[in-house]
């Protein structure tokens, strides 16, 4: 199994599709010149190809396991993480004051995607550290920052997020973990957390947990939640790992995939922690970390999709079977129209989801660099779309890749099945794609649709220009935009939120489908007559039309759904 990092695609996207020029014009990211971004991509890509990709299969076969309360990781993972840390890839976007590179999220996203494509189960570790770091940067006191940030950023330590409890998953406000004031500036944390990714490892000298908990007399629900940093080993006066804290891994989950990544049940028994941010300000801090983690998870989907595509392409190019089309160059199965349809669909969706993901990252960067509210709103709007479309694409493309393999796809040795098993969690964690869709049609439309309409206006303006070059293609995308606009207006006009929620997932997918068409059109403009124009034609003419049916579903309302009683839904 080999993996080639999509460096060229990112260089193209940065230059022609997502407007990194604008970013480079800001003071904050002036140093992210095209030379710098190309160099970063090249270097990270090399590490992914050479160091991480070989860990993909061994991580699946051997998995992480618990031994006397310590997580043992698969062979090579320690070296893999070391390479990530030494490359500076944990702290790529982090504050230079604490050792970070201070680069744009656009690059974090690109590098995150490449690491995900080469070894998803290891990549989860730096991705969570990044969210952890960001939460500290925004909410922690300077004293905490000085102790924790440098070691998290240089990868000596690993950071996790602890939200979920057995009765508090999507409804995080239901959590019951307690925090009590020790009276010395620290707190005692007690409770059980589940689904804690990389809750421990044998290759970092400390693991720091950001834990959501409830102070005594805190109000019920999300308003009563505070955030604490709770390290496995308490830093001594020199900031080095010292006394063992009263927390531990109780067990690991037996999962469908992602075996290399330990998913821990964590027990806190009066463990010592420090408050991050304000009391009862836990959700705000958590959202900082979750929003970017959502973008990161979307990129995970894109990364696995890319890897699964490459894997299927290589198989299709090598495997000979049956008489191929007279149109075909090759006698291998890539010359069969249906296999080629699968490959082209995969490739077109990988590009669309990648472009949306980077577009989202650039909006975050622009918001950070300029403080502009419109960019902030754009970033917020795109987050559920890039998270859900990236992960849905990961799942779909991995599935199609398995199908390209025929019977071999079902055999684990072929490697196609692992992509399917690994990527399956991405549409669930960091907020299921259903939760993303509810976020999109409710919270992200509390501005009366301003952000959505501004994006549609901008898209249509660019599409208008494209009409001169590609009249038919551009018209298709323009019409799709108009349909999306109508559906958006319909959503906004629903006062009963259930009517929005009943069609939220189809709406979210339609939004991505249309946005993907726009991205492909921009790519086609930059590569007239070339491969990107051909791929854009494939996407716009064959895949994008799905939006129409999705928008019908999106606007069908809740009544017909709840007309079916619980009993009637039973067998």
- Restricted to residues 362-421, the positions that interact with a copy of itself (CB under 8 A) are 395, 399, 402-403, 406-407, 409-413, 417, 420-421
User: b or e along 484-518 (b: 16 or more beta carbons within 10 Å of the residue's beta carbon)?
Assistant: bbebbebbbebeeeebbbbbbbbbbbbbbbbbbbb
Give the phi and the psi of residue 212 in degrees, each rounded to 5: -85, 130
User: b or e along 243-270 (b: 16 or more beta carbons within 10 Å of the residue's beta carbon)?
Assistant: eebbbbbeebeebebbbbbbbbbbbbee
User: Of 84, 66, 64, which Cα lies nearest the Cα of 75?
Assistant: 64
Candidates 81-89, 102-110, 161-169, 362-370: pick the segment binding a copy of itself (CB under 8 A): 161-169
- Residue 528 CB, shortest distance to a copy of itself, in Å, is 14
**Residue 288, interface with a copy of itself (CB under 8 A)?**
no
Instruction: State the Cα–Cα distance between residues 265 and 389, nearest whole angstrom.
Output: 29
**Residue 542, interface with a copy of itself (CB under 8 A)?**
yes
**Residue 502, interface with a copy of itself (CB under 8 A)?**
yes
**Residue 546, interface with a copy of itself (CB under 8 A)?**
yes
**Are 400 and 345 within 8 A, CB to CB?**
yes
For a copy of itself, the closer CB: 253 or 462 = 253
Candidates 86-94, 169-177, 267-275, 478-486: pick the segment binding a copy of itself (CB under 8 A): 169-177
**Are 327 and 518 within 8 A, CB to CB?**
no
For a copy of itself, the closer CB: 333 or 369 = 333
**Residue 154, interface with a copy of itself (CB under 8 A)?**
no
**Residue 495, interface with a copy of itself (CB under 8 A)?**
no
Binding to a copy of itself (CB under 8 A) within 503-532 occurs at 503-506, 531
Distances (CA, A) of 525 to 118, 460, 481, 560: 31, 15, 18, 43
Q: 468 in helix, strand or coil?
A: coil
471 CB-contact burial (10 Å; exposed 0-12 / middle 13-18 / buried 19+):
exposed
Is 413 annotated in the active site? no
**Residue 571, interface with a copy of itself (CB under 8 A)?**
yes
Total Cβ atoms within 10 A of residue 446: 9
- Residue 337 CB, shortest distance to a copy of itself, in Å, is 4
Our CA angle for 423, 267, 228, nearest 5°, is 85
Distances (CA, A) of 440 to 12, 338, 504, 506: 29, 35, 8, 12
Question: Using the rule CB under 8 A, which residue among 294, 378, 387, 424 binds a copy of itself?
Answer: 424
- Residue 200 CB, shortest distance to a copy of itself, in Å, is 18
Question: Using the rule CB under 8 A, which residue among 38, 78, 234, 344 binds a copy of itself?
Answer: 344
Our CA angle for 363, 365, 371, nearest 5°, is 90
For a copy of itself, the closer CB: 518 or 537 = 537
Question: Using the rule CB under 8 A, which residue among 233, 432, 442, 483 binds a copy of itself?
Answer: 432
Name beta bridge partners: 394.
none
Instruction: State the Cα–Cα distance between residues 181 and 190, nearest whole angstrom.
Output: 12
Question: Using the rule CB under 8 A, which residue among 21, 33, 170, 475 binds a copy of itself?
Answer: 170
Candidates 128-136, 202-210, 451-459, 496-504: pick the segment binding a copy of itself (CB under 8 A): 496-504
**Residue 347, interface with a copy of itself (CB under 8 A)?**
yes
Question: Using the rule CB under 8 A, which residue among 83, 144, 328, 453 binds a copy of itself?
Answer: 328
Binding to a copy of itself (CB under 8 A) within 8-37 occurs at 8-9
Instruction: State the Cα–Cα distance between residues 227 and 215, nearest whole angstrom.
Output: 10
Please give the size of the binding site for a copy of itself, defined by CB under 8 A: 102
Binding to a copy of itself (CB under 8 A) within 435-454 occurs at 437-438
- Residue 471 CB, shortest distance to a copy of itself, in Å, is 17
Total Cβ atoms within 10 A of residue 164: 17
For a copy of itself, the closer CB: 120 or 275 = 120
**Residue 220, interface with a copy of itself (CB under 8 A)?**
no
**Residue 51, interface with a copy of itself (CB under 8 A)?**
no
Instruction: State the Cα–Cα distance between residues 301 and 279, nearest whole angstrom.
Output: 35
Instruction: State the Cα–Cα distance between residues 194 and 188, nearest whole angstrom.
Output: 19
Binding to a copy of itself (CB under 8 A) within 240-259 occurs at 253-258
**Residue 501, interface with a copy of itself (CB under 8 A)?**
yes
Instruction: State the Cα–Cα distance between residues 34 and 18, nearest whole angstrom.
Output: 13
For a copy of itself, the closer CB: 460 or 546 = 546
Q: What is the full DSSP assignment across 105-142? A: HHHHHHHHHHHHHHHHHHHHHHHHHHHHHHHHHHHS-H
Instruction: State the Cα–Cα distance between residues 417 and 396, nearest whole angstrom.
Output: 12
For a copy of itself, the closer CB: 82 or 255 = 255
Question: Using the rule CB under 8 A, which residue among 339, 377, 452, 473 binds a copy of itself?
Answer: 339
- Residue 546 CB, shortest distance to a copy of itself, in Å, is 5
For a copy of itself, the closer CB: 30 or 541 = 541
CA torsion, ordered 405, 407, 411, 413, to nearest 10 deg: -50
**Residue 320, interface with a copy of itself (CB under 8 A)?**
yes
The strand pair at 65-67 and 225-231 is best described as: unpaired
For a copy of itself, the closer CB: 73 or 310 = 310
Candidates 91-99, 136-144, 450-458, 541-549: pick the segment binding a copy of itself (CB under 8 A): 541-549
**Residue 57, interface with a copy of itself (CB under 8 A)?**
no
Binding to a copy of itself (CB under 8 A) within 177-216 occurs at 194-195
- Residue 340 CB, shortest distance to a copy of itself, in Å, is 5
* Given 27, 430, 462, 486, the catalytic residue: 430
Q: Among all residues, which ones are annotated catalytic?
A: 430
């Amino acid at each position: 199994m080999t993996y080639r990092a999509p460096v060229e695609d990112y260089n193209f996207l940065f230059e022609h599709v997502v407007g990194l020029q604008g970013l480079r014009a800001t003071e904050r990211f002036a140093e992210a010149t095209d030379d710098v971004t190309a160099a970063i991509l090249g270097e990270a890509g090399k590490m992914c190809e050479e160091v991480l990709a070989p860990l993909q299969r061994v991580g699946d076969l051997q998995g992480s396991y618990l031994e006397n309360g310590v997580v043992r990781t698969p062979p090579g993972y320690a070296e893999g993480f070391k390479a990530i840390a030494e490359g500076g890839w944990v702290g790529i976007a982090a504050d230079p004051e604490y050792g970070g590179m201070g680069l744009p999220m656009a690059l974090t996203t690109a590098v995150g995607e490449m690491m995900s494509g080469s070894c998803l189960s290891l990549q989860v570790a730096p991705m969570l550290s990044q969210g952890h770091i960001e939460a500290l940067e925004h909410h922690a006191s300077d004293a905490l920052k000085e102790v924790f940030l440098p070691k998290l950023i240089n990868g000596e330590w690993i950071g996790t997020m602890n939200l979920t409890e057995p009765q508090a998953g999507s409804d995080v406000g239901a959590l019951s973990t307690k925090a009590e004031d020790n009276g010395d500036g620290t707190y005692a944390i007690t409770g059980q957390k589940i689904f804690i990714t990389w809750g421990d490892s044998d290759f970092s000298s400390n693991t720091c947990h950001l834990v959501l908990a409830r102070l005594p007399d805190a109000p019920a629900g999300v308003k009563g939640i505070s955030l604490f940093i709770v390290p496995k080993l308490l830093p001594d006066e020199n900031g080095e790992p010292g006394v063992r804290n009263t927390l531990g891994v109780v067990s690991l989950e037996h999962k469908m995939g992602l075996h290399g990544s330990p998913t821990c049940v964590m027990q806190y028994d009066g463990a010592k922690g420090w408050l991050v941010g304000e009391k009862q300000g836990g959700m705000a801090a958590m959202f900082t970390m979750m929003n970017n983690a959502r973008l990161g998870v979307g990129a995970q989907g894109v990364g696995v999709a890319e890897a699964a595509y490459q894997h299927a392409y290589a198989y299709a190019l090598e495997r000979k079977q049956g008489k191929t089309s007279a149109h075909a160059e090759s006698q291998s199965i890539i010359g069969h129209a249906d296999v080629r349809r699968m490959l082209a669909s995969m490739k077109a969706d990988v590009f669309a989801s990648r472009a949306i993901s980077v577009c989202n990252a650039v909006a975050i960067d622009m918001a950070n660099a300029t403080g502009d509210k419109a960019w902030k709103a754009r970033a917020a709007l795109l987050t559920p779309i890039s998270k859900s479309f990236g992960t849905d694409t990961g799942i779909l493309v991995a599935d199609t890749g398995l199908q390209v393999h025929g019977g071999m796809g079902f055999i684990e040795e072929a490697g196609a099945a692992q992509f399917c098993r690994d990527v399956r969690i991405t549409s669930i964690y960091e907020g299921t794609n259903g939760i993303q869709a509810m976020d999109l049609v409710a919270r992200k439309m509390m501005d009366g649709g301003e952000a959505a309409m501004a994006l549609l206006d901008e898209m249509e303006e660019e599409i208008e220009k494209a009409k001169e070059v590609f009249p038919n293609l551009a018209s298709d995308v323009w019409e799709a935009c108009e349909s999306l606009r109508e559906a958006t207006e319909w959503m906004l006009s629903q006062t009963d939120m259930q009517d929005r929620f009943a069609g939220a997932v189809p709406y979210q997918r339609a939004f991505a489908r249309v946005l993907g068409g726009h991205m492909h059109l921009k790519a086609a403009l930059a590569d007239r007559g070339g491969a990107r124009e051909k791929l854009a034609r494939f996407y716009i003419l064959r895949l994008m039309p799905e939006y129409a049916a999705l928008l019908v579903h999106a606007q069908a309302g809740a009544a017909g759904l709840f007309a079916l009683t619980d009993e009637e839904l039973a067998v």
